């Protein structure tokens, strides 16, 4: 996985300061991670396991394929920062409610 630097000025321009941007992006990353976890568990639970032998420790190839597909996806923090920079995240302050 490659590391892509992000200009802090872009992040700072979306919020009042960088620390608020970090909090907003972290909360969104947690939401994305939870959505991915639910999706992964749903897919895995729908796979019908093959015949099991108590001494057979081989992994199910379908499960491995799905796990690898999820590993290849962008990480939640990368998606959250891209959404923050691209105005894809909406947030408000508590005192504005």
Do 95 and 22 touch, CB atoms closer than 8 A?
Answer: no
pLDDT of residue 31: 95
Q: How far apart are CA 85 and CA 78, in angstroms?
A: 11
- Top pLDDT among 34 and 8 is at 34
Q: Is the pLDDT assigned to residue 46 strictly greater than 90?
A: no
* Consecutive H or E run containing 95: none
pLDDT of residue 50: 61
Q: Which one, of 30, 41, 18, 38, lies nearest residue 75 by Cα?
A: 30
Q: Is the pLDDT assigned to residue 33 strictly greater than 60?
A: yes
Q: Which one, of 70, 71, 82, 84, lies nearest residue 18 by Cα?
A: 84
- Top pLDDT among 57 and 23 is at 23
Q: Is the pLDDT assigned to residue 39 strictly greater than 90?
A: yes
pTM, rounded to two decimals: 0.75
Structure tokens at 24: 């907003």
């Amino acid at each position: 996985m490659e590391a892509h630097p992000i200009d802090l000025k872009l992040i700072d321009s979306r919020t009042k300061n960088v620390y608020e941007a970090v909090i907003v992006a972290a909360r969104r990353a947690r939401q994305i991670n939870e959505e991915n976890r639910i999706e992964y568990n749903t897919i895995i639970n729908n796979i019908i396991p093959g015949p099991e032998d108590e001494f057979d420790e081989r992994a199910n190839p379908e499960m491995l394929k799905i796990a690898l597909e999820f590993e290849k996806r962008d990480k939640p923090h990368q998606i959250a920062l891209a959404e923050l920079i691209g105005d894809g995240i909406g947030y408000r302050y508590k005192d504005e409610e």
